[in-house]
Each structure stands twice: as structure tokens, then as C-alpha cells.
Structure 1
Amino acid sequence: MRPEVQAFVADGPLPDWDASEEEIDRRVEQFEAIPKPVTGEEARALVSCFGPDDCYGVAWALLHLIETGPNPVLTTDPGPHANEWHRRLYDRGVNGGLIPKT
């Protein structure tokens, strides 16, 4: 796994809307340092970085970055109580025909 991805993953989930501007800017800077496309291993690791909300759009960018890797990342239904971003990744895989509908 490349060091840029390791650093981003090591800092954990994205902060929520209540985070300081500095914290959000720091995470965005880390995120923007990740070269595209990501590997399958990197995509699977990045899935753990979704936070409780969209972090001012950063979560959408993270979803799109994950989708630059080999798809699908989530191959089983994460369940009704899953993080909304895990649910979106799975649903996009189903809607894109990459995962059979259950």
C-alpha cells in the first residue's frame, strides 16, 4: 500500500461537520495526495475512512476515489444499519451490474 494511502487510513474516519476548518483542510490535503487509480488493497482500506456525514463533500470524493480501484469493493450487502457510505458503495455496485441483486 502506498504511503499516501497509509497516512490517510491511519488518521481514521473523516471528521464530521463540527470539526475545525484546520482539521478538514488537513484531511483534504492528505486525500488529494493519493494518486489515482487505487489498488484493490487500498480501496478496501479506504472504505474504513468514511465518517458520520459527508464532511463537506469529502466523503463523495472518497467514494469516487475508491471506485477508481478494482470494483466492486463491497460484494455483500452491508445491512440496513451500515454506514450510509458503505450502503452507497454497495448499491452502486448492484446498480452498475457488478454485484448480483439479492
Structure 2
Amino acid sequence: MRPEVHVFIADGPLPDQDADEEEIDRRDGQLGAIHRPVTGEEARALVSCFGPDDCYGVAWTLLHLIETGPNPVLTTPPSPDANEWQHTLWRRIVNGGLAPGGVTA
């Protein structure tokens, strides 16, 4: 795993929208330092970094970064209590025809 990916993962999940601007900018900068595409190992590890909300769009950046890796990064549906971003990623995998399950809303 590349050092910049390891650093991002080591800082844990993205903060919520109540975090200070410096923290959100720092995490966004960490994502920007990760060159695309990511490896399968990196993509699977990055899935654990979604926070409780969209973190002013940073969660979308993370999702798009994960999608640059070999797909599908998720091969089974997330558990019902999984983060909403994992469910979004799963829906995109199914809707893209990368996993069985038909089109989901």
C-alpha cells in the first residue's frame, strides 16, 4: 500500500460537517495526494474511511477514488447497519452491472 493511502487510512473515517474547516481541508488534501488509480487492496481499505455524512463533498471524492480501483470493490451487499456510503457504493456497483442484483434505486 502506498504511503499516502496509508496516511489517509491511519487518520480514520472522514469527519462530519461539524469538523473545523482546517480538518476538512486537511483530509481533502490527503485524498488529493493519492494518485489514481488505486489498487484493489487500497480500494478495499479506503471503504472503511467513510464518515457519517458527505463532509462537504469530500465523501464523494473518496467514493470516486475508490471507483478508480479494480471493480467491484465490494462483492457482497453491505450489512443493513453499514455506513450509508457503503450502501451507495454497492448500489453503484449493482447499477453498473458489476454485481448481480438488478438495478437499485
Distance 2:42 2:80 in 1: 25
CA distance in 1, matches of 2:28, 2:82: 24
Aligned length: 102
Q: Distance in 1 between matches of 2:8 and 2:25?
A: 13
Mapping for residues 1-102 of structure 1, pairs under 5 Å: 1-101=1-101
Amino acid at match of 1:27: R
1:79, distance to aligned residue in structure 2 (A): 2.8
Percent of aligned pairs with the same amino acid:
76
Q: What are the ranges of 5 or more consecutive residues in structure 1 without an aligned counterpart?
A: none
- Structure 1 segments, 4+ long, off by >3 Å, are none
CA distance, structure 1, for counterparts of residue 36 and residue 77 of structure 2: 26
Q: Secondary structure at the match of 2:26?
A: helix
How many angstroms does 1:29 deviate by? 1.1
* Paired letter, 2:15: P
TM-score, with structure 2 as normaliser:
0.94
Pairwise CA RMSD: 1.0
